[in-house]
Each structure stands twice: as C-alpha cells, then as structure tokens.
Amino acid sequence: MVVNLTHEGLLLVSQEALPVHQIFELELVFMASQPAASDIRFGAEYVWSDKSGTHTNYHWTGFSIIDIADETESTLKRLTAKWEAADG
C-alpha cells in the first residue's frame, strides 16, 4: 500500500521485505475516481526498510525516484500538490 508519495520518492507498507538498494521499475495505476490521472511509470531505488512499530508483520519501505520522464514528473508534482492542498 502506498502511504506517502512525492515527486522525489514514496513510502510503502508491505507484508514482504525486498532487498535494500535494488532498483525497480514501478507503475502507479490510478482508480477511475482520480480524474485526469494517467498511470505513472518510473524507476526507483529501494533505499530503506523498517519492520518496527505496532504492526510488526508489516515492513515500512522507502523508495527514492531515480528515473522519471520530465512530463511524468510534472504530472506527479501537479497531483501531489493537489492532494496536499486538499489535506491542508
């Protein structure tokens, strides 16, 4: 599950750990309820993991976005700014 997302990286909560410092090609697929949001693809490095906290069956995992097309990054920045404004 995506917990936090910015144009620089993302935080996931998962049941399985992945090897740290691996590089992945990721795709965010948006539900139809997100108008004008197309799927977003990018390369990301898995940079840290933490299994601490209340729910120790889950891994908090941090990714740093390392490869993203300029247009895709602009779309991601617009989306995250829109979400931040809705939360604030």
* Strand blocks (E) in 1-88: 2-5, 9-14, 23-28, 40-50, 59-67
Sign of CA dihedral 69, 71, 74, 76: negative
- How many contiguous H segments (helices) and E segments (strands) does the chain have? 1, 5
76-83 mean pLDDT: 86
Residue-wise pLDDT tens digits, 21-70: 899 999 988 776 655 567 889 999 999 888 766 657 788 899 999 999 99
pTM: 0.79
Predicted confidence at residue 15, as pLDDT, reads: 85
Pairing of strands 40-50, 59-67: antiparallel
CA–CA separation, 63 vs 60, rounded Å?
10
Predicted confidence at residue 21, as pLDDT, reads: 82
